[in-house]
């Protein structure tokens, strides 16, 4: 039961009151880059982003998802076609898809969805250009638990990869991408698998959407999963010259939420240090498995 004890809960309550949704039995589903709450009696999910982090993109994500649903594309559906602004936060409301008793959607489903996404005609509105690692660089400027040496290394590494990104020679071309496509953003819907979390939708080399799944090696995912994804999409991004650049970008990208949360949350601080050390001082012979961000 929600008894507003922290900033995200207070934002949730105020946003729900604005649109007449019941919030008393809200339950936190996830707190990372965005805070995600389930409103059980409304069969609705509320996503809370700050303007500093993803607020502008969160507002746009509603229009993007609505357009995709109208194209009969398997995207999660917004409950409201506009965002709610509460102080420095943006709240969007989405239809809830229960995953109870179901395993995570298979890799092949993500591959098929991305193949379809990359074949769509351009949307009837302007999409922003993808900004690689900007969120991480901004987060590193704020208070966090990393030492000066680690912060300097991450900043230098990010700037190097950004430079490499702008020199990539895309095989698939530049166009509409999801921007954060991985199995964690897929859900079982009423008629199959859906792709959600459109906050990072943008224009970029399409390979950007294909690399994220391969970061699964950090969590012990087997090659069979990667091969299944590749077969479904119909092209193996691992054979492309820019694969390593985008995969290493993804490694750094996943640090962003932990950097932001590290001061307030001991668990986030521990995982941030663990990931940073494994990137800075890799031990290929042993390997260091990362823990989930959820």
Question: What percentage of the chain reaches a pLDDT higher than 70?
Answer: 94
Mean pLDDT, residues 229-235: 98
Q: Which domains, ranges and CATH numbers included, belong to the chain?
A: 1-96 (3.30.200.20), 100-294 (3.90.1200.10)
Mean pLDDT for all residues in the chain:
92
pLDDT above 50 for 55: no
Q: What is the pLDDT at residue 6?
A: 59
> How far from each other are the two terminal CA atoms of the chain, in whole angstroms?
20
Mean pLDDT, residues 136-154: 95
Residues in the chain: 294
Supply the pTM of this predicted model.
0.92
pLDDT above 80 for 255: yes
Tokens 């649903």 map to which residue? 69
Confidence of residue 37 (pLDDT cuts 50, 70, 90): very high
Supply the DSSP string of 186-241, one letter for each residue: EEEETTEEEE---TT-EEEETHHHHHGGGGGGGGT--HHHHHHHHHHHTS-GGGST
């Amino acid at each position: 039961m929600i008894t507003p004890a922290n900033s995200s809960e207070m934002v949730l309550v105020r946003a729900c009151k604005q649109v007449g949704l019941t919030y008393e039995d809200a339950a936190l589903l996830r707190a990372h880059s965005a805070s995600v709450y389930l409103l059980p009696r409304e069969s609705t999910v509320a996503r809370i982003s700050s303007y500093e982090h993803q607020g502008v993109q969160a507002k746009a994500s509603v229009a993007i998802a609505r357009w995709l649903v109208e194209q009969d594309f398997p995207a999660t559906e917004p409950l409201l076609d506009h965002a709610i602004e509460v102080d420095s936060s943006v709240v969007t409301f989405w239809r809830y898809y229960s995953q109870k008793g179901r395993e995570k959607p298979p890799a092949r489903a993500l591959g098929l969805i991305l193949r379809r996404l990359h074949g769509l005609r351009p949307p009837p509105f302007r999409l922003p250009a993808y900004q690689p690692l900007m969120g991480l660089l901004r987060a590193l400027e704020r208070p966090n638990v990393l030492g000066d040496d680690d912060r300097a290394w991450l900043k230098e590494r990010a700037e190097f990869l950004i430079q490499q990104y702008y020199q990539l020679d895309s095989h698939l071309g530049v166009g509409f991408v999801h921007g954060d496509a991985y199995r964690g953003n897929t859900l079982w819907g009423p008629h199959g698998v859906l792709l959600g979390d459109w906050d990072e939708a943008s224009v970029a080399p399409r390979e950007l959407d294909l690399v994220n799944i391969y970061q699964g090696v950090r969590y012990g995912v087997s090659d069979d999963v990667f091969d299944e994804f590749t077969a479904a999409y119909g092209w193996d991004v691992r054979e492309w010259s820019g694969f390593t650049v985008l995969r290493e970008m993804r490694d750094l990208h996943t640090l962003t939420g932990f950097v932001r949360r590290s001061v307030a949350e001991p668990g986030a601080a521990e995982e941030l240090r663990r990931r940073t050390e494994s990137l800075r001082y890799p031990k290929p012979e042993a390997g260091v498995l990362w823990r989930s961000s959820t």
